[in-house]
Amino acid sequence: MTDKHSKETTHFGYKTVDRDDKQKLVAEVFQSVAGKYDLMNDLMSMGVHRLWKRFTIEMSAARPGQKILDIAGGTGDLTAKFAKIVGDQGQVVLADINDAMLEVGRDKLTDAGVCGNVDYVQANAEDLPFTDNTFDCITIAFGLRNVTDKDKALRSMNRVLKPGGRLLVLEFSRTDNQLLSKLYDAYSFTALPLMGKLIADDAESYRYLAESIRMHPDQDTLEQMMKSAGFVQTGYHNMTGGIVALHKGIKP
């Protein structure tokens, strides 16, 4: 039996923190890295993140006139692609819990002329501020691992999807290749913080990002979590040897 004064804890990278504090700590990370986010993505993945996102777009089966929600959409890579696909009769909502990331995304897409069918909403994935059965498709790319209560977030996504709508979760995952795993660990815990220091003047945030990947559920565990949240026809595609996986689920 827990003491009524004790607080629930969760992980922030490899650290154990009060559950109520994680959202603020994650916010501080992304406040810090927002300005260099796109540059660091290209450097960290050597540009491969663009291929992962392109596959996500293909798997979305997005069509003209649809409503799409891009959660943790950050600087808007997926939103920009979806906006072109759904056209003037469709709508894309770029949602992010972090106002600095949302501002960078808005400025970037506005400068690129992507504005007529895109809305920007500061929102927590655990409690999405949308009515039931609103969206044809939801994507969350490299954002779920930063959510405190992933099960609650997945249920929230299920609620706002239309029946037959699909959820796509693009996230770092686990590789079974031992050699690749060792190389990836060495890269993550040596090169990433160093790049963070040199490019963004912030080694600690990129150390957290590397640690958060290791604490994220593996492919089979996340698929089971999606099933528990009410999704059917679940499955995943491993990419780059399982370093990244794209999970799919349908709302019945």
Is 96 marked as binding a ligand? Answer: yes
- Predicted confidence (pLDDT) at residue 20 exceeds the cutoff of 90: no
- Under the banding of pLDDT at 50, 70 and 90, the label for residue 4 is very low
Is 88 marked as binding a ligand? Answer: no
Instruction: Convert the pLDDT of each residue in 34-60 to its tens digit.
Output: 777 777 777 778 889 999 999 999 999
Instruction: Convert the pLDDT of each residue in 65-83 to its tens digit.
Output: 999 999 999 899 999 999 9
CATH top class, domain 30-175+209-250: alpha beta
71: nearest Cα among 113, 134, 24: 134
Domain regions of the chain by residue span: 30-175+209-250
Is 75 marked as binding a ligand? Answer: yes
- Give me the residues paired with residue 17 across strands: 10
Is 41 marked as binding a ligand? Answer: no
